[in-house]
Amino acid sequence: MAAKTPLLKAEEVGIQFGGLKALSGVTMELYQGELVGLIGPNGAGKTTLFNLLTGVYVPTEGRIVLDGETLNGLPPYKITRKGISRTFQNIRLFGELSVLDNVKVAYHAHARHSMASSILRLPSHFRGEQEMEEKAIEFLKIFQLDEVMHEKAKNLPYGQQRRLEIARALAAQPKVLLLDEPAAGMNPQETKELMNLIAFIRERFALTILLIEHDMSLVMGICERIYVLDHGQLIAEGTPEQVRSNPKVIEAYLGEEVS
């Protein structure tokens, strides 16, 4: 099933903020088409690892490799163009822009008309904009957001904002999608819909997904493999069953047994 070489690989990555080691020696491999979970107690370094993978921070140790290409030191926008896209723990939509424009922004990196052609309103501008608009509307239909496409993003209900953020991340046409707590603040019904949505987009776009989540039912339910972080270090990895019964994981979540 899985290809021999990993699509995305973190080799012994770590980062130090001043004297504080937020992450160290984390090795992680994602194969084409996998859905992998990343869990750990608060402050374990999950979001920091996301920030390293997307270039927000530059790792002070180790390497990040996508499709055989080292990403260390590339700015975030270049990493996105290479094929890693993400959502954020606290939703970061472009609030004043319409739902449609939010998606169009993600297409920008693939736009072919230049700034000069837009200023002079050359035919290539109209063609490019038209193409973007059609693609974006088509995309919003997949996510059932086409009915609200002229609304400002900030006026959407919470669940739709989450969905729009995922849609926007996908519009950037990534190979690997990183989801940072997509179910945060959702009720069980919404979480269930989200699980279906994730399964659906994975199928439809042949994606590789890495997911941070606190909702255990979600993680255990849909992830094939799980990595567990604690205090900036990887303490376990494996299938949901293996992780669930791993004493180190139980210790990290529930504390040490008194003996």
- Which residues of this chain interact with another protein, rule CB under 8 A? 54, 56, 75-77, 80-81, 85-86, 88, 92-98, 100-101, 104-109, 111, 113, 115, 118-121, 125-126, 128-129, 132, 150, 152, 168-169, 172
Q: Tell me the closest approach of the beta carbon of residue 253 to another protein, in angstroms.
A: 30
Secondary structure class of 11 (helix, strand, coil): strand
- 56 or 195, CB closer to another protein? 56
Q: With H, G, I as helix, E, B as strand and everything else as coil, classify residue 152.
A: strand
Least separation, in Å, of the C-beta of 47 and another protein?
A: 12
Residue number with CB closer to another protein (132 or 219): 132
Kindly state the smallest distance separating residue 228's Cβ from another protein, in Å.
25
CA 109 to chain CA centroid, Å, is 18
**Cβ of residue 87: shortest distance to another protein, in angstroms?**
9
DSSP 257: P
User: Residue 121 gets which letter from DSSP?
Assistant: T
**Identity of the residue numbered 43:** G
Q: Cβ–Cβ contacts within 10 Å for residue 183, how many?
A: 23
Residues 166 and 53: their CA atoms lie apart, in Å, by: 17
Nearer to another protein, 91 or 186 (CB): 91
Strands 61-66 and 35-39: unpaired
Distance of closest approach, residue 186 Cβ to another protein, in angstroms: 20
* C-beta of 9 vs 86, nearer to another protein: 86
In the bound state with another protein, the residue whose beta carbon lies nearer, of 97 and 235, is: 97
Number of H helices, E strands in the chain: 10, 10
